[in-house]
Structure 1
Amino acid sequence: MSASEPIIAIVGGGFSGAATAFHLARLLPASASDIVVVEPRERLGYGLAYSTTDPSHRINVPASRMTLISGQDSHFADWLQQSSAIVGDVEAIAANGAIYPQRRVFGGYVESHLQPFLLSKTIRHVRSAVASVERSGEGYSLILADGRTLAADAVVIATTHPPPALPLAMQSVAGIAGLVANPYDLESLEAISRNDHVLVIGTGLTSADVIATLDRKGHRGHIVALSRHG
């Protein structure tokens, strides 16, 4: 351990990394540790899932079933009632009264609960990516993408999955017009014409995002979603 307070480095500042930092800061005694979140994005708590700016990307379960604090099932729903996060969003409330806000709203909820700890310096945000982690004595040395190094007594890996890449079987069509290899590339999705026939490979949550985006922009052509499981 360090001679002073131990340094806990959290690699990744999406929901998992932000939630880890939040609970450490909330549960550990004051000044018991230095919590550092290494995340290249400007804001913590959003990550890949909750940083989308597409208004058609919503949480896929009711707000009453999402929470930052286990055992407090209505924590997010209560925050929505107390904030103005869904004011004017007529599509957020389903016919049965369940609330499905845009996904970035959940990111804002997580961020808002980190803010007091960031202001008090209990949590520090280092804006960079981690290039590598090496053992250094009884601790670790994090080499950042911008060339800096960060010493830590403990490391939490909370990184997202790698950027989208074409499967080997599709490498022969790489670069062909009309192929969108990155489903988060909204500019390429916007370029799809209203009546184009679209094949979506995969039927997971990402495919639902893609189809929701196409629907929002008025697409009316045929869409076929293909998966191994049908």
Structure 2
Amino acid sequence: MKVLITGTSRGIGRAICEKFLKEGHSVIGFDLLPCDIGDKNYCHEIVDISKNLPDIDGVEILINNAGVQNSKDIDVNLKGTIAVTEKYAFSDKIKSVLFIASASATSGSEFPEYAASKGGVVAYMKNVALRIAKYGATANSLSPGGVLTESNDRVINDKKLWEKIMSLTLLPKWATVGEIADWAYFMTVVNKSMTAQDVLVDNGEIAKAEFVW
């Protein structure tokens, strides 16, 4: 299938991209940064999703992964995601749309703008599910808790903070990017009946309800 993924240069987005390529799909990746994925079925586009979007026809799976944690939270995480979805999702080719949100959308933890942007993504996902059903397509969001990525190295490498986080997490670990990629693949390719749902993958982080990082 023809898959469009935003934020593919590193972390979760790159892992999702590599998963789909491994399974034989054609992938188009959007990112502000270049990407060294050399697969013949991968096409990389340097794109700022909060600004201009290229014309692409026939997207079958759309995965909105691009996100930031800075002053542009709302512009990229929410407004950019909406722009990408409105441009590429609503056609008779579409099979599934997935939004990578965050456990913060449920807990309200982390930076105010970030939590608000991800909460908005989950609400928007439900709006998309209502409108995309006429194509027989699903729309869901995947909300990870802590994930082992380079962007979280500051937290992971702080021994005292890490020990406290683990003591407050029911399953004392964080997800790998490969695990999140497997969830993304299941929710868009294997899944045919679940729609308008937010799936929380946080190792029980929210269950103890004391956010420390």
TM-score (norm 1): 0.26
